[in-house]
Amino acid sequence: MYDYRIEAADKPELYRQLCQAADALTEGEPDPIANMANVAALLWESLPDLNWAGFYRNVGGELVLGPFQGRPACIRIPFGKGVCGAAAASLAPVCVADVLAFPGHIACDSASRSELVVPIVTEGALLAVLDLDSPSPACFDDADVAGCVELVQRLSGRFGGVANSSPGR
């Protein structure tokens, strides 16, 4: 039914295509969980070298496991705890080259070696975080941070933000 071929020579092009595909996949769908589920699956299929890709939602000031691909994960993460909690508390992306050296890292999957967490914010409030894990050290770089920030900014309205059925631009 959905057949997105994402073939890119470099990361900016990869994320440009990813944003387009995610926009098309979620267009007209108001349910945030359905949209997070499809975007998690798209990221899982399209980005190399991942062992986890998905979302934690802000439910009453606590991160609660949302749609994802990968091994079963911890369900609740307080703000400020682990990489996800650090991104939630600071409202800024957190890119960790070596999770074993990150104080308080939560090892849901012992295979994880590096991690990127990007907060999804609408009107100054945290909606959720996007979490990517890799079994390779230093898998994520500035291009991944920029690409994921662009992705969640474009789609925040479809993840439960104010402009619920609009991509924002």
Starting from the edge strand earliest in sequence, which strands make up the sheet with 114-122, in order? 76-78, 62-70, 52-58, 125-134, 114-122, 94-96
The first and second tokens of residue 94, run together, are: 């957190």
Site residues for ligand SME, 129-168, by CB under 6 A, read: 131, 133
Neighbours of 23 (CB within 10 A): 17
Q: Which residues in the 117-136 window bind ligand SME by CB under 6 A?
A: 131, 133
Residue nearest to ligand SME (CB): 82
Dist CA 165 CA 154 (whole Å): 11
- Torsion over CA of 159, 161, 163 and 164, rounded to 10 degrees? 40
Nearer to ligand SME, 128 or 157 (CB): 128
Which range, of 13-21, 40-48, 104-112, 139-147, touches ligand SME by CB under 6 A?
A: 104-112
Of the pair 129, 157, the CB lying nearest ligand SME is at 129
Is residue 108 within the footprint of ligand SME (CB under 6 A)? yes
Bridging pattern class, strands 94-96 and 76-78 = unpaired
Q: Does 84 bind ligand SME (CB under 6 A)?
A: yes
Size of the site for ligand SME (CB under 6 A): 15
Applying CB under 6 A, which part among 1-9, 29-37, 79-87, 143-151 lies near ligand SME?
79-87
Q: How far is residue 14 CA from its own chain's centroid?
A: 15
**Distance separating alpha carbons of residues 115 and 143, to the nearest angstrom:** 14
| Least distance in angstroms from the C-beta of 59 to ligand SME | 15
Chain positions contacting ligand SME, by CB under 6 A: 52, 73-74, 77, 82-85, 105-106, 108, 112, 115, 131, 133
